[in-house]
């Protein structure tokens, strides 16, 4: 599925403040390398149903054995192994003689200690990998897991590795420990690098599986169809601590959702909830919804956070226009797109914004192969759009009592004409501050 950098940040898949990102939310990786691999997976959504289903199958299988996941492989373990291959050792002896081991211990004491320390971590690493490959039978593993496990078994198919699997690192005789150290340093480097990479792959998949289990996500049903469709029940935003769920239906008959409501009523949250769920589905993860069925999309585009550029001399409004222009150029290709637009043309006066918004919406309504969600404060333009059969109108209700606002965060059918901006200004004592200047 095609997605651009702007959309990654609009949907908080990535965020300059990492703790507010989807990546951070689902990161349960044990290692730094696993996190890097997780970010790669999260920023490379699948374009084929087969790849999505393979990932779903792998995550389901990992969920089933997550409580048995070996924890002796830590980030510290991986760092020790990587440092081992970069450290400027003198020659590590390759002898079974206790005398050679004693001499190395006496005359190369720092190197000896580091070799012993590293061999202990290598044994932990190999024994952890051995437990992992035992968790996944070649007969019933998903294709994705089968490939990883097969390569792990290949990399561990060695007599000395098999000896290390049976060792207690704390009881290794010095000569045998040095024999292992020599082999790991001079003969096993390439295999070790491959095994570390394979563990990072498993670590990233483990993180995704833990997130699915911890947050009670549900795997969506993805269908291959020429027409775009989203049907979600109990959909919510994964980044919220106490989210409110929505039911959403978009299909070729009603492929455009016109969303209104007051500030803070929930419009942006709904738009981002749909975008994140569709995105997670194409990564192969579960989604934050009770159930979800959707078509395979070719691309996802958002128009949520637009910025001016004083260096280039580009105004906010100019960049809004450019984003819409680029969106139209992309989606006018017959493929299936999900397009998310939050508050069109905030960078110009209200009359101009209404005229421009109406022109854009009427144009987008001609595109039947994509789905659109658009939020706006410009409820006045809604009446003119009711003549189009493929647009639906929903709003978030807000009520006021004694200058206190109450948000239901529930979608209702129709168009909202709520105006509470001044009330919010007054409630936050800004009007009082200005009066007292």
Extents of the domains making up the chain: 27-214, 221-435
293 dihedral zone (left: phi>0; alpha: psi -120 to 50; beta) = beta
Which DSSP helix (H) or strand (E) runs through 250?
strand 246-250
- Helix 189-214 vs helix 75-84: angle between axes, to the nearest 10 degrees? 160
What percent of the chain has a predicted confidence (pLDDT) above 70? 92
Q: At what angle do helices 189-214 and 32-42 cross, to 10 degrees?
A: 60
Ranges 32-41, 100-109, 327-336, 407-416: which has the least confidence: 100-109
Give the helix, strand, coil percentages of the chain, each rounded to 5: 50, 15, 35
Q: How far is the CA of 63 from the CAs of 41, 150, 196, 240, 286, in angstroms?
A: 18, 20, 22, 23, 12
Chain-wide mean pLDDT for the chain?
89
> Which strands, in side-by-side order, build the sheet including 391-401?
2-3, 299-303, 337-342, 371-375, 256-261, 391-401, 404-413
- State the pLDDT confidence band at 311, using cuts at 50, 70 and 90: very low
Closest alpha carbon to 97 in 179, 175, 181 = 175
Judge contact between 341 and 7, C-beta under 8 A. Answer: no
CA-closest candidate to residue 194, choices 167, 242, 232, 156: 156
Q: What is the CATH architecture assignment of 221-435?
A: 3-Layer(aba) Sandwich (3.40)
Pairwise CA distance, residues 47 & 55, whole Å:
12
Nearest-10 Cα torsion for 365, 366, 368, 373: -20
Are residues 70 and 165 in contact, defined by beta-carbon separation less than 8 angstroms? Answer: no
Give the confidence band of 92 by pLDDT, cuts at 50, 70, 90: confident
Tell me the average pLDDT across 184-195: 94
- The CATH architecture annotation of domain 27-214 reads Orthogonal Bundle (1.10)
Would you mind telling me the total number of residues written for the chain in this entry? 437
Report the pLDDT value the prediction gives residue 313, as an integer from 0 to 100.
46
Q: Residue 221 has what pLDDT?
A: 97
Report d(CA 351, CA 206) in Å as an integer: 52
Separation of CA 422 from chain center? 38
Residue 417 and residue 404: Cα distance in Å, rounded? 18
- So what's the pLDDT on residue 93? 77
């Amino acid at each position: 599925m095609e997605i651009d950098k702007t959309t990654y940040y609009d949907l908080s898949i990535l965020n300059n403040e990492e703790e507010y990102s989807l990546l951070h939310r689902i990161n349960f990786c044990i290692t730094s390398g696993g996190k890097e691999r997780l970010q790669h997976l999260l920023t490379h959504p699948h374009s084929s149903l087969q790849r999505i289903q393979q990932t779903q199958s792998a995550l389901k299988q990992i969920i089933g054995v997550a409580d048995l996941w070996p924890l002796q492989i830590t980030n510290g373990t991986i760092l020790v192994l990587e440092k081992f291959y970069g450290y400027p050792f003198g020659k590590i002896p390759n002898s079974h003689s206790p005398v050679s081991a004693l001499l190395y211990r006496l005359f190369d004491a720092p190197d000896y200690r580091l070799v012993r320390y590293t061999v202990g971590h290598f044994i932990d690493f190999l024994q952890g990998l051995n437990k992992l490959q035992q968790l996944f039978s070649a007969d019933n593993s998903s294709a994705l897991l089968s490939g990883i496990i097969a390569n792990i078994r290949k990399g561990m198919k060695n007599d000395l590795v098999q000896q290390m699997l049976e060792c207690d690192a704390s009881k290794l005789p010095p000569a045998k420990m040095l024999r292992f150290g020599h082999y790991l340093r001079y003969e096993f480097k390439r295999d070790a690098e491959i095994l570390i990479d394979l563990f990072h792959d498993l670590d990233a998949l483990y993180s995704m599986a833990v997130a699915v289990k911890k947050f009670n996500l549900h795997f969506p049903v993805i269908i291959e169809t020429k027409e775009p469709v989203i049907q979600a029940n109990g959909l919510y935003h994964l980044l919220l601590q106490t989210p409110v769920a929505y039911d959403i239906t978009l299909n070729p008959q009603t492929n455009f959702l016109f969303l209104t409501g007051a500030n803070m009523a929930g419009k942006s949250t709904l738009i981002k909830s749909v975008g994140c769920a569709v995105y997670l589905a194409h990564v192969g993860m579960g989604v934050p919804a009770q159930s979800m069925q959707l078509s395979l999309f070719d691309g996802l585009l958002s128009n949520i956070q637009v910025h001016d550029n004083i260096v280039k001399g580009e105004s906010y409004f100019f960049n809004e226009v450019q984003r819409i222009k680029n969106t139209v150029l992309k989606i006018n290709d017959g493929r299936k797109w999900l397009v998310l637009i939050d508050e069109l043309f905030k960078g110009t006066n209200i009359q101009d914004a209404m005229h421009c918004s109406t022109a854009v919406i009427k144009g987008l309504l001609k595109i039947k192969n994509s789905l659109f969600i658009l939020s706006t404060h410009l409820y006045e333009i809604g009446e003119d759009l009711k003549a189009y059969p493929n647009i639906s109108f929903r709003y978030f209700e807000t009520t006021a009592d004694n200058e206190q606002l109450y948000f239901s965060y529930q979608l209702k059918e129709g168009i909202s004409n709520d105006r509470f901006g001044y009330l919010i200004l007054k409630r936050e004592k800004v009007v009082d501050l200005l009066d007292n200047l």
